[in-house]
């Protein structure tokens, strides 16, 4: 369900299907007009993507969220700087990789 949010729309990500990831809770994202299309952002994790239309911007954001989550999750915490460590902590509040289809928590 999308709702108006200032100059954009608040659109929760409720699924990553068919990708092997689950959600602990929906990810709040904002989609807004950009210079050449639309921008979608998950502000708490500082992850943003663009697209020619709202749907493409959201699809690109979902892919980028998973890419960032995987990339940061593979690194030992001691190798991450303050901002990547913070991003990973935020993402871990929302996303998990399915292992046998079960939620780890």
Torsion of CA 73, 79, 81, 86, to 10 degrees: 30
* Spatial contact of 98 and 91, defined as CB atoms under 8 Å apart: no
Provide the pLDDT for residue 3: 54
Provide the pLDDT for residue 2: 55
Domain range annotation of the chain:
3-97
In degrees, rounded to 5, the angle at the alpha carbon of residue 61 between the alpha carbons of residues 101 and 28 is 75
Provide the pLDDT for residue 100: 60
pLDDT < 50 positions in the chain:
1, 4-5, 101-105
CB atoms near residue 64 (< 10 Å): 15
- Give pLDDT tens digits for 68-89: 999 999 999 899 999 999 999 9
Output the pTM of the full model.
0.86
Residues near 70 by Cβ (< 8 Å), separated by ≥ 6?
97
């Amino acid at each position: 369900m999308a709702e108006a949010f200032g100059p954009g729309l608040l659109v929760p990500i409720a699924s990553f299907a068919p990708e092997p990831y689950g959600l602990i809770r929906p990810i709040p994202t904002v989609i807004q007009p950009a210079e050449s299309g639309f921008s979608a952002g998950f502000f708490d994790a500082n992850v943003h993507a663009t697209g020619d239309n709202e749907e493409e911007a959201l699809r690109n954001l979902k892919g980028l969220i998973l890419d960032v989550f995987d990339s940061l999750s593979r690194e030992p915490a001691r190798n991450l700087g303050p901002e990547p460590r913070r991003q990973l902590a935020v993402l871990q509040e929302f996303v998990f990789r399915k292992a046998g289809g079960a939620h780890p928590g």
